[in-house]
Amino acid sequence: MRPFLLFSAALGIVCPFALGSEIQKVLFDKSQPQRVASEGALDDETPSYRNELLALHKELVSIPSITFDENEVASFLVDHLTERGYNAALQFVPPPDDGPNIKERFNVAAWRGPKKANPRVIVSSHIDVVPPYIPYSIDKGKITKDTMIKGRGSVDAKGCVATMVTALNELHARDAIHDDDVMLLFVVGEEVTGDGMRTFSKSLAEMKDPPKIDAVIFGEPTELNLACGHKGGLFCDITAKGTPGHSGYPWLGKSANELMVRAMVKILDADLGVSDLFGNTTFNIGRIEGGIAGNVIPENATVNFAARVAVGPEATGQLFVKERVQAILDEVDKDAFEMDCSHGYGSVETNCDVDGFKKVTVNYGTDIPNLAGNHTRYLYGPGTILVAHGARENLTVGDLEEAVEGYQKLILHALKH
């Protein structure tokens, strides 16, 4: 790998806006953007960037990057971007206090122009994916807009990363933007805790003279619609404590499983908050366990849940849901339950007032609430969330190409407003 500047915790997680002369810059002729051949024959309506787009997407998806193991894909991106005339840097992300024994992890920041970045717009997505790793594949034969691409991260969110890079390359190639207008930011950890974006946000807050960021374009699968916002979230563990005993005499003990089941039914049937924009708050029992044997009254039961919060405000909407859940637990048995919540936030609104885009709201979470600041927020990307995280994650070549055009429109819109 080429030399590039590393940000370390020892330096106080210095922000990439304060880069020095150690950044590698590569001579680059913007009138002749580099192209990399992709697989298969090309049709007559091929955009000029298709080869490089598909090659980049393939490289990204082919590199496993399950959360907490994103180092290789971050390193690849730094090489790829510096070869194309960008300043690129890695920002160290501290390991979680109670997380697994993991390798060093880094966010990637890249921009053109001066070594000290001063962007008006940030274009951002995440480079981590959920398990398990699924290899890259593409339909055989002539490549058309309907050609399907599969693999883990092909949609969520390496499709966004590849199309964002390509979109910015195209804008620079035709001198549609100034070199220091836009910065790419690709973060780790979005699928678990959002620690990559929170690290970047913290680095901005610690700067004496931070740049004035007008807008941030976040990449997630929105089916090429511009999102007006997404639901918030509340992520908690509930434990129930009972009294063990022989199953033949259940009245002599207290079943933690029975208490948990009764509480879960009440919570699923309850009104946990409704809004006109986002609909109902939903409650997913992601994992449930309890007891040790069929003929023993269970002493302990545990539920891990994720609620998708339909109410705001963004900073406190999740507390309304937490209070509703806690009230139901107290109603079932005020002494048996404990609830421990790792994180949460209320519903998130984004700007969708841009001509030429269909509008949508989505139910999943993003890194948007992890980046503090007074900036306009956009949410857009190729592919559908309905196949993300699944065994058949896929999107089409046409999805990727339309996203390149969409990101260019959003960047230009953001720079004008």
Would you please indicate which residues are annotated as catalytic (active-site) residues?
A: 190
411: which 2 tokens? 């960047």
What residue spans of 87-235 are helical by DSSP H? 158-173, 195-205
38: which 2 tokens? 């992709």
Hey, which bits of 220-273 come out as E strands? Answer: 226-230, 232-241, 245-246
Q: Is residue 45 classed exposed, middle or buried when 0-12, 13-18 and 19+ CB atoms within 10 A define those classes?
A: exposed
177: which 2 tokens? 């933007």
**Beta sheet of 348-349, edge-to-edge order:** 348-349, 226-230, 359-362
Residues sharing a CB contact under 8 Å with residue 222, sequence separation 6 or more, in sequence order: 360, 362, 379, 380, 381, 385
Query: What distances in angstroms separate CA 290 from CA 153, 284, 300, one per listed residue?
Result: 34, 18, 6
